Amino acid sequence: MGDEEGGPQCKVVYTDVDPEEETNWIKRAGAARVTYVNGDSFVGTFDAEKNKQGSGVYVWVKPGEEEGSFVEKARYEGSWKDNQKHGVGKMTFPNGDTFEGEWFENKIQGEGTYVYKKTDDMYSGSWVDGKKHGKGRYEYAADRSILLGQWEAGQITTGKWELKGAAVYDGEFKLGRPFGPGQFTFESGLTQSGTYTVIKQPGEEEEAPAEGEAPKPPNVTWLGDNIVSFV
């Protein structure tokens, strides 16, 4: 899809000629600065089909405090293909989160780093279809603990949980929590194997999530073996 010709769509300044050429629609291939009627802007290159191609910067805006003014809401700077974010680029989202890495047809896919503005947590690793998938590393800013391992559909499934100054857990995970067999290696050098398991009261049944509700992480208890070995 490209910008249509049915009347003024935007302010376009072609920067690949001297003097620069100004129009009110995307009329040809070339490098241009575009300001859309809603205040959004794009600086980059268009092809003959009026699609964004190659390197470019798109800025989304929202109304400012003064009438007719705008303030930046989000920004993408990077590669485009057929009017979509595709290749390597950096996105700053409306909530302040940032992602820098690979994109495929407008979705995060490949290798990249996501930083969460609210917590300063950071994930670096593989992505598929906009979700953490493959090898990755998640660091919690609050306590500097780290989840390092294999991820599937946004959740870690196996790997290590490094608790700074305390221990390293190596094992399986479910919905972001340790679950199943694993092992702790403590700062002292002691190791302890065991299992994170759900302990239910007699007659208690696991509640299924309501329609449209995400599954809840299991409430688990660590059942550890006797500590008998040193690293």
Are 127 and 219 in the same domain?
A: yes
DSSP category for residue 141:
T
Are 66 and 164 in the same domain?
A: no
Q: Is residue 207 part of a domain?
A: no
Domain end, chosen from 103, 137, 165, is at 103
Neighbours of 103 (CB within 10 A): 26
What is residue 32's predicted lDDT score, i.e. its pLDDT?
97
Weakest-pLDDT range from 11-15, 75-79, 197-201, 217-221: 197-201
Q: Is residue 85 part of a domain?
A: yes
Residue 188: partners with Cβ closer than 8 Å, 6 or more residues away: none
What is residue 225's predicted lDDT score, i.e. its pLDDT?
87
Q: Is residue 208 part of a domain?
A: no
The amino acid occupying position 29 is A
Residue 204 has pLDDT above 80, yes or no: no
pLDDT digits (tens, 9 = 90+) for 153-180: 999 999 999 999 899 999 999 998 899 9
Domain end, chosen from 103, 138, 171, is at 103
CA–chain centroid gap for 28, Å, is 34
What is residue 201's predicted lDDT score, i.e. its pLDDT?
61
pLDDT band at 202 (very low <50, low <70, confident <90, very high): low
Q: Do the Cβ atoms of 116 and 99 come closer than 8 Å?
A: no
pTM of the model: 0.85
Q: Do the Cβ atoms of 85 and 101 come closer than 8 Å?
A: no
Are 135 and 88 in the same domain?
A: no
Phi, psi of 150 (to 5 degrees): -100, 135
Are 9 and 88 in the same domain?
A: yes
Using only C-alpha atoms, what is the Rg of the chain? 25
What is residue 218's predicted lDDT score, i.e. its pLDDT?
75
Are 173 and 217 in the same domain?
A: yes
Are 85 and 130 in the same domain?
A: no
Residue 4 has pLDDT above 90, yes or no: no
Which residues make beta-bridge pairs with 101?
89, 112
Which residues make beta-bridge pairs with 55?
79
Q: Is residue 89 part of a domain?
A: yes
Which among 101, 16, 93 has a CA at the least distance from the CA of 60? 93
Residue 231 has pLDDT above 70, yes or no: no
Residue 105: C-alpha distances to residues 8, 22, 59, 87 (Å):
28, 30, 18, 9
Residue 218: partners with Cβ closer than 8 Å, 6 or more residues away: 174, 175, 177, 179, 198
Q: Is residue 132 part of a domain?
A: yes
Two tokens, residue 92: 């700053």
Please count the structural domains in the chain.
2
Q: Is residue 38 part of a domain?
A: yes
Domain end, chosen from 51, 75, 103, is at 103
Are 229 and 134 in the same domain?
A: yes
Task: Look up the domain containing 37 and give its range.
Answer: 1-103
Mean pLDDT on 46-51 = 96
Are 149 and 174 in the same domain?
A: yes
pLDDT band at 25 (very low <50, low <70, confident <90, very high): very high
* Alpha carbon distance 217, 25 (integer Å): 51
Are 152 and 183 in the same domain?
A: yes
Check the CA dihedral 225-227-229-231 and report its sign.
Answer: positive
Task: Tell me the pLDDT of the chain averaged across its residues.
Answer: 90
* Alpha carbon distance 122, 44 (integer Å): 30
Two tokens, residue 202: 């007699």
Are 22 and 71 in the same domain?
A: yes
